[in-house]
Structure formats: structure tokens, C-alpha cells
Amino acid sequence: MYDINRKQRQVAQNIGHEQTPIFVVDDVLLDPSAAIANGVTADYGTSMVQGTYYPGVRANVGAEYGMAILQFAAHILYRHFQVPKELTLYPRNGCFSLLTQRPADLNLLSCIPHFDNNETFSFAILHYLNPSEFGGTSFYRHKPTGFENVTQARRKQYLQAAQQHINQHGNPKQQYVTGTDPHFELIHTVDYKPNRLVIYPATILHSAHIEKPNVDVNPDPKSGRLTANFFVDFQP
């Protein structure tokens, strides 16, 4: 049901000044319809996103679908991201996501790029699902610090510098971030494409690239910007 496509197309890149590795796989599933059906029938709510930056709703992915994606991604993570073989993959969560907040309703953290966490061997795996011309995912450099990745060693400095910059220059615009502004510089964008998988370190600053919120903001899993998001750690 969730068979990996042997004719998939893989592209490995290193982006920005820090040459952060990202990995893109097109046509990753032989047939993505079962994954989409899983997302359409999932139970969405607000409990998974309370207290986070995410401007929408989420629902748990099915175990069979999640396992197929994670087993496939594990080989890429060990090989391309140079995760030590002695470390073991631990899934943190897997969820379907739909954007539901209009730009006027966003809080500050939804108007700027974010990092997922600060651990070295922690990664995000993003699967674009529904067919349509939705916005993709963009990666950024923080102008005051020059940081593209916010590691544990950089976290305190980054947060202090970001707040100081906001205090001096004001909040970013009340909108989804879609490019360079006084706070952040756009360094790379991966376009949305159905059945495309994107893998990147959890430390890198990134954001959904939403230029057409009238298209991307849609709570209906049948027609909205349906994605599956997986977060994994590698530990001894």
C-alpha cells in the first residue's frame, strides 16, 4: 500500500554559507493515494499545536505509512547526513498538517522562520501530498547573527540577538514569511510538488513559503495544503 517507488528521483544539496545538507526525493511513493486518504480521514484538532508556532491543525499519521517513510529516510540520513552508524533512529512524532490561519491572525512566531530543535542528530522529514500549486518550504539566514542553523551552543545568543533586533527595528510584517526582510535572508526554496519528500536538519531556520494564502490556507484535508511531517532523533 505504501510501496517506495524504485524510479524515484533524488537530489542532494548543500545550501547557504554553512553548507547545510538537504535532500529532496521526487515521486517517493509508487502511489501516494493511500497516504492522502490517510490524511483526509485523520482526526484533526488543536491539541497537537497548542503552545507551538504552527498556524494550523494536525493529526497523527497511520503507523504503516509512517513506518514506510521512516525506513526509507533512515538510509538517506545515515548516508547523506553522515549520522554515525552506532546511533539509532527514534521517531519523535509524525503528523498530517493543514494551514488554517489567515495572515491577520498569525502570532509573531508564525511570521518568522523557526528551527525545530537544537540537537545535532535531529531531522525533519516533510512529505507534500495533495496535488495543487501550493507554497513550498524556504530556508533562511538570520541577519544579525549570520546563523543559518541554531544549535544548542548558539541558542541563547540567537534568541537574545533576535529579540534585540526586534526591539530596535520592530516586528516583522504580519504575514507568512516569503523572502528576505530586515530580520532574515532567504537562502533557498524547495518548491511544493505532490509526492515530494524533503529531509533537512532540525536546526536549520525555515518556514513554509506561503505567497498565496487564499490557496494555501484551507482546513479541508481533501483540498488544502496537506503535508505529512516527521521528526526523528538519533541516539546511542
Q: Which amino acid makes up residue 60?
A: N
Q: Is 32 a member of any domain?
A: yes
As a whole number of angstroms, the distance between CA 176 and CA 102 comes to 9
Low-confidence residues of the chain: pLDDT under 70: 46-52
User: Are 4 and 16 in contact, with CB atoms under 8 Å apart?
Assistant: no
User: Are 201 and 130 in contact, with CB atoms under 8 Å apart?
Assistant: no
As a whole number of angstroms, the distance between CA 44 and CA 108 comes to 24
| Residue among 14, 28, 35, 15 nearest 197 (CA) | 28
Q: Is 139 a member of any domain?
A: yes
Q: Is 4 a member of any domain?
A: no
User: Are 120 and 202 in contact, with CB atoms under 8 Å apart?
Assistant: no
Q: Is 93 a member of any domain?
A: yes
71 alpha carbon, distance to own chain's centre? 18
- How many domains are contained in the chain? 1
Q: Is 2 a member of any domain?
A: no
Q: Which amino acid makes up residue 212?
A: K
What is the domain-level CATH number for residue 157?
A: 2.60.120.620
Q: Is 3 a member of any domain?
A: no
Instruction: Name beta bridge partners: 125.
Output: 199, 230
The pTM score is: 0.95
Q: Is 123 a member of any domain?
A: yes
Written as nine digits, the cell of 225 is 495544503
As a whole number of angstroms, the distance between CA 111 and CA 100 comes to 14
Written as nine digits, the cell of 211 is 505567497
Q: Is 26 a member of any domain?
A: yes
pLDDT tens digits for 177-194? 999 999 999 999 999 999
pLDDT tens digits for 80-130? 999 999 999 999 999 999 999 999 999 999 999 999 999 999 999 999 999
Q: Which amino acid makes up residue 166?
A: I
Domain holding 79, by residue range, is: 9-235
The count of residues in the chain is: 236
